[in-house]
A and B are shown apart, each in its own frame.
Chain A
């Protein structure tokens, strides 16, 4: 019997609760309406607090409306309304759609109240079902350090499962406790540790801010926290520099790797190498335009398809150049230099005539846009793809040279042309193929560079001197040397940049290279033996 009575009491209590809970909410809102109607800043502030405390589902939207100047109070209807983004009217008390009377006027805000609204919104959205909104709310509390949000924060902390948001919440809580001089010392010390853990710029600013007011243990711990954040930032800075260096190095390597074949292996000074890169970039542009016109849903595939196309087109152009001009100039490197420079001028002008002098846009496919965070470094997918792609191209080329019969014949012809011919190798064919291969690789580089540089007739010019520097620095005829030299130059450039600025850094690198060539005229990894003196 007793049990039954107990259940009955419980049930009726529940019913009462269910009945009155919305009423309690509505009561809070009703009080808020009166405050808003008063049209004074202090009353409005009280109103905001009431809306925030009411826990009503549309409270967030109403406060958002207040912040965006969409909350209106009507004296005649004794009611407050808000519009949503589309301009539809709602009643604040019930949250139901309503017509807004004509006399309704905006509830005014000043700057301080705007801060109050944002803080209230931050607290309210701490419990939002949308994780992104919860994260934003936690961050906004971290910034405002509004002590009123503490209970909401603690409530949110008990429920939160997402580790990233949890960290943001506990940081926000730590920030509030840290600046609360009434909080117990042990808790404030723990708060410093929590903040120092995150190690970003905001935390650093926060700790620096507390330093003047702190004393004793709090001060030493805060100083330690600052030191540890700064140390971590230095590491991150170094990591960032190295990553940028690797990224630049991979671009240099891509541009230079074809030259490592034509100049390094064959000894041809191909000043039109940069234009091969440019042609590759334009092939990418044309491929993408064709896809855009014919098959827009496959647009993401245009880049992978442009790679073999660019290889074929520039490879063919390269073979034409070799057969048409360069083969008459073997053994006369300076004349080759001049003739290929002439070719580069003609190719540039041809591109300018066909495609116009302006930059062409090649859009990034979806898998190459965006970025992610790794050990605190911002890494864009585009750059990561290019670095990975560079390595793929490099090793593919290495395999072609070292493990195919064409590669064997190429090396044989380079080392001793007449002996190779005597062994039945068609040296002329091999010459054309080698030059085609080098040019084709340059074209592939153009596909990648179209993603990070302007596709214009001058694209190649910007890379030609750098490419020669990379090959000469690495040691002619040595692919591994080219790899190491590209990354060395890339990283050195990025290390110098913060001290010297981009342009001066580049000049410094050039000067250092000129000095280096004096010291080791054959590059880092010089070929040894008879081939040297040819």
Chain B
């Protein structure tokens, strides 16, 4: 009974997505740990890290899709929430280095010793504790989104205005984190991590474990997001997306609904960032760059917004393309390809890959295409 309800909640596409994710988790961990190198089924540790990175991006894309695809809040600042989560994790990892740093200072990270600081800034207090750091991963992006959203939605800043001020927010953080006296490592960021919860972050086993955790978190995030959008609350979100004023006139507190989904989305982005940092091994201010946030939007648009699975798929595909393009003679053409993708998606496939797939499926069934689905309104 409960299982049936769960399956109905997830939908066919979602079940497929979770199945693929589970298969990927098994294939990668077995392929990396058990299959000897040289075998065609061996997965190199580099590939594990790369795939883990894609999954973190997929999580960010799902977060963004919740806000944009279901509630029409086009945030150009989700990269900032992602990076803030990443910094929180990075600070925990920095505190774990302890005396193994270059300057071997028991408390201060290397860059602070280098800057002749004598005391740990308040912002860094407590980060030696893993539970505290994890709390911050959720709390810092969540709080920022809450305050920002509360101000913005209450005064009914909508549409492109909201997009532009979220971009300004990212840009301000981008500039701020470049400063050495912010106390977050300046433009070098945080790196040289040693271990997480006592396990060496460079070790093969840790990497695979981190990958598996990312798979699990992505699956949980997806189920949570499905749960949100399938609930009554989710229906109101869609109503807000399609006709904000009308929803307000029906008596719903539009700004409260938006604030909740925006904050939730930012927290998911923060978790994605926190999973990203130990796998990639570095976090620096360039993660705040406005371009990153816009790129995340294009993943969602490319996969198909308002579908969750599409967002994750888009993140995966676009980043896979990026890896291919930026690692060879094609590097020069990457920006052409990315830019072209932006234009192509908006002009030719407004419903993304998922929409394309649905169109093809309809045609294969040799049925005349049903009424064109209602245009998604921004």
Enumerate chain A interface residues (CB-CB to B < 8 A): 269, 325, 328-329, 332-339, 341-346, 348-350, 353, 465, 468-469, 472, 503-504, 506-507, 510-511, 513-515, 517-519, 521
Contacts and interface: CB of A to CB of B under 8 A. Distances in A.
A132 to B, nearest CB: 45
Nearest to B333: A349
B168 A465 contact: yes
7 contacts: A334-B74, A341-B294, A342-B346, A345-B342, A346-B335, A468-B164, A503-B176
B311 to A, nearest CB: 14
Interface in B325-359: 332-336, 338-343, 345-347, 350
A465 B290 CA distance: 10
Nearest to B76: A337
A483 to B, nearest CB: 20
B36 interface: no
A344 B339 contact: yes
A518 B156 CA distance: 8
The 6 closest A-B pairs by CB, nearest first: A342-B342, A345-B339, A346-B339, A349-B335, A334-B378, A342-B339
Contacts of A506: 172, 175
Contacts of B74: 334, 337
Grouping DSSP codes into helix (H, G, I), strand (E, B) and loop, the A interface class, with mixed when no group exceeds half, is: helix
B339 A507 contact: no
B350 A337 contact: no
Nearest to A506: B175
B290 A521 contact: no
Contact of A518 (B155, B178, B341): B155
B139 interface: no
Contacts of A339: 342-343, 346-347
B157 A518 contact: yes
B163 interface: yes
B298 interface: yes
- Interface size class on chain B is 35 or more
Contacts of A349: 332-336, 339
B343 A507 contact: no
B176 to A, nearest CB: 5
A468 B161 CA distance: 10
B168 A510 contact: yes
A465 B336 contact: no
A517 B161 contact: yes
B171 interface: yes
Given A338-B297, A503-B179, A511 B172 contact: yes
Contact of B298 (A332, A338, A353, A507): A338
B279 interface: no
B168 A514 contact: yes
B160 interface: yes
Contacts of B148: 514
A493 B256 CA distance: 35
B347 A328 contact: yes
A517 B165 contact: yes
A472 B161 contact: yes
Given A465-B290, A517-B161, A335 B350 contact: yes
A278 to B, nearest CB: 14
A333 B159 contact: yes
Contacts of A513: 165, 168
A353 B343 CA distance: 20
A332 B377 CA distance: 8
B169 interface: yes
B90 to A, nearest CB: 21
B180 to A, nearest CB: 11
A472 B157 CA distance: 12
Nearest to A325: B343
Given A329-B347, A341-B294, A507-B172, 14 more contacts: A269-B163, A334-B160, A334-B163, A335-B378, A336-B346, A338-B346, A339-B342, A342-B298, A342-B340, A349-B332, A465-B167, A503-B178, A513-B168, A514-B148
